[in-house]
A and B are shown apart, each in its own frame.
Chain A
Amino acid sequence: DQQVKQNSPSLSVQEGRISILNCDYTNSMFDYFLWYKKYPAEGPTFLISISSIKDKNEDGRFTVFLNKSAKHLSLHIVPSQPGDSAVYFCAASGTANFGNEKLTFGTGTRLTIIP
């Protein structure tokens, strides 16, 4: 059941350059997408989200792009910093009648920023 896929298990980027993490989904009912960052032995930390009514959302160094027709989203981090080294998870949910829906996670991409 691979409804959310992150095809790159790892990515290395030079400090100061742009990091691009990708995520694909198959379930057309998903309409809310989130990126979480996770350090070892810690819980996922929310980074940024996007609703399906938008195609871009920006928050400081982080921008998420959504291409609904391709069922693809990406997270751009610019400029990349050493503290960005972590595992990044893409997650998706469908809209419940009210309240939160469960999140379906991808397998994660380990981002390493090279000083």
Chain B
Amino acid sequence: EPEVTQTPSHQVTQMGQEVILRCVPISNHLYFYWYRQILGQKVEFLVSFYNNEISEKSEIFDDQFSVERPDGSNFTLKIRSTKLEDSAMYFCASGTLAVQETQYFGPGTRLLVL
């Protein structure tokens, strides 16, 4: 069964460093998303991406964040200068073009900023 994959599973970084989180969405999906979950809090939407551009972004997704689909399979989230409060689980998700279609989530990357 097709699934969303994410790498790395864990990342530890120093405050101020850049990190890139990688995702391989399900191959026939066209919509891609990043969500995050800070420990003990709800899963929050960060950004959606379709047709090589951002469809929607939340207020969390400021200038320090960027997304890219550098080739036909990978979807990346870059945080340019990490802050302590960026420590969270980051989930990639993908979905088809259909209205009210389910989003399928990857296993997540646990980011710890020290």
Contacts and interface: CB of A to CB of B under 8 A. Distances in A.
B48 A102 contact: yes
B99 A98 contact: yes
Q: Is the interface of A mostly helix, strand, loop or mixed?
A: loop
A96 B30 CA distance: 15
B91, B95, B99 — most chain A CB neighbours (10 Å): B99
Nearest to B110: A41
Contacts of A42: 107-108
Nearest to A104: B45
Interface size bracket, A side: 20 to 34
B31 A99 contact: yes
B105 A43 contact: yes
B50 A99 contact: yes
Interface of A: 31-32, 34, 36, 41-46, 49, 51, 89, 91, 93, 95-96, 98-100, 102-108
